[in-house]
Amino acid sequence: MDARESLLAAYEASKGQIGLGDSDRIRTLRRDALESFADLGFPRTSNEDWRYTSVSKMTPLEFKRPSSFQPDGSASTELQRLRSVFLGGTAGRMLVFLNGRFLPELSSFNGEMPGVETLSLAAARKSHSDLVEKHLARYATLEGRSFSALNTAFHEDGAFVHVAKDVAAKFPIHLVFVANGPERPMAIHPRNLIVLEAGSSASVIQSYVGLACESYLTNVVTETVIGENAHLEHFKIQQEGRRAFHISDLRIDLARHGVMSDCSIAIGGSLARNDVTGNLRAEGAECHLNGLYMVTGNQHVDNHTTLDHVSPHTISRENYKGILDASSRAVFNGKVIVRPDAQKTDSVQSNKNLLLSENAVVDTKPQLEIFADDVKCAHGAAIGELDEDALFYLRARGIPRAEARALLTHAFASEIVDRIRWDALRRRLDGNISLWLSSSSSEAQEVS
């Protein structure tokens, strides 16, 4: 059995357990999605969207549905630790998901936030059926995307966030997804729905943490719905286990003058693929995409972003930075579409890559499809090494070579991290970067 067959078999076996409480629409959708996945199978590199990213390491595996949703002893300790790291002593909400399922006993709610609802999608299906019915799977259209189809067919739980009209959520909302189960390899399909009504604002941080060292698949779909004049600040911090596969599909739906500020940090996993699609469907919508990926060893990270300017006066800003060590590989594909009506579109895109090793490879490609004439679209891509002049300057002041390299590399990353206004999160990321730099391998192999 290969991965496709095992996933289909797992679905057959768990039919009675998945999708209880689905509406008729969702039930039909699941069936269609399943057919679509059965049909498509895993993407091949002949598919232009997957040209540089092969999932062949994944396809021979027999994925299983997780069966354990209770943390064992060591996982509980780790989760307690994570809680203090994530919340950093500040108020906020933290929803913990283990192997894709919500764990209320490990979640915390500190600080009053009237008008802000955070619960599991499974619960929301019952308590907020109208909202779920209105929004779920309305934005993440399948369009030949195998993994999104897989998620749509298989999703069980995830986070549901709703912010009422004109409410500003004071504290950050952390969604923590932890993988740690006896099944190997397991496939987890979290499904998140974040809805901001008109005039509201919120900060949502998604963290993916792998406690398991064996391989598993996280295949997440997140739909964000940003109402008129609403502002969502969204982070995804991906620190999956060393042998994990992380596939993510983030959809952003922007109403008039809606603003999305997204920041995607990718450090973990053996193979990571992030799709971010912003639909600037109404006038004045604004989408900011920032990203930082740091890979080493044989890690592979692929960021595919699409910014679809549908209406006039829409703004997009994109800044993705990558740091690659050892034999790692990164792919960046930044598509910007400007539809015929989207006059006065203002779009700037940048992707800069820092290679710390001669064996690391980057494929970066801007992809502009512009059908309007009165627009401003700028893009730039760069692949480079550490600046020798800067390195010498630091060493000439007494800073040892390895430390000087780490300092410059950290500085490269800081452009993305420094603008994070949540202290606990910024400190945590800074710490992660330092740790990454001290354990990354190529400097040790290099003869100075």
What does the binding site for another protein look like in residue numbers (CB under 8 A)?
Answer: 387-390, 392-401, 403-404, 407-408, 410-412, 414-415, 418, 448
Q: Are 160 and 135 in contact (CB under 8 A)?
A: no
Looking at the Cβ atoms of 382 and 411, the one nearer to another protein is 411
Rg (CA), the chain: 21
Least distance to another protein from the beta carbon of 446, Å? 13
Q: Which two tokens stand for residue 237?
A: 């911090």
Looking at the Cβ atoms of 232 and 355, the one nearer to another protein is 355
**Total number of residues shown for the chain:** 448
Looking at the Cβ atoms of 168 and 399, the one nearer to another protein is 399
Q: Which of 198, 184, 204 is CA-nearest to residue 230?
A: 198
Least distance to another protein from the beta carbon of 267, Å? 19
Least distance to another protein from the beta carbon of 397, Å? 4
Looking at the Cβ atoms of 113 and 429, the one nearer to another protein is 429
Looking at the Cβ atoms of 73 and 398, the one nearer to another protein is 398
CA atoms within 13 A on the CB side of 14: 18
Looking at the Cβ atoms of 363 and 443, the one nearer to another protein is 443
Looking at the Cβ atoms of 445 and 448, the one nearer to another protein is 448
Distance CA 54, CA 245 (A): 12
Least distance to another protein from the beta carbon of 18, Å? 47
Looking at the Cβ atoms of 13 and 382, the one nearer to another protein is 382
Least distance to another protein from the beta carbon of 51, Å? 33
Least distance to another protein from the beta carbon of 320, Å? 16
Three-state SS for 135? helix
Least distance to another protein from the beta carbon of 43, Å? 37
Looking at the Cβ atoms of 16 and 398, the one nearer to another protein is 398
Least distance to another protein from the beta carbon of 334, Å? 23
Looking at the Cβ atoms of 371 and 393, the one nearer to another protein is 393
First vs last C-alpha separation in the chain: 49
Q: Are 320 and 379 in contact (CB under 8 A)?
A: no
Query: Which residues contact residue 104 at a Cβ distance below 8 angstroms, ignoring those fewer than 6 apart?
Result: none
Rounded-to-10 torsion of CA 140, 56, 264, 225: 10
Q: Which two tokens stand for residue 190?
A: 């979290």
Least distance to another protein from the beta carbon of 35, Å? 50
Distance CA 322, CA 217 (A): 23
**Pairing of the two strands 245-254 and 346-355:** unpaired
Q: Which of 373, 378, 435, 437 is CA-nearest to residue 408?
A: 437
One-letter amino acid of 68: S
Distance CA 355, CA 230 (A): 38
Instruction: Give helix 3-13 / helix 146-154 axis angle, nearest 10°.
Output: 20
Least distance to another protein from the beta carbon of 385, Å? 14
Q: Which of 257, 251, 211 is CA-nearest to residue 231?
A: 257
- DSSP at 87: H
Instruction: Give helix 423-439 / helix 73-87 axis angle, nearest 10°.
Output: 120
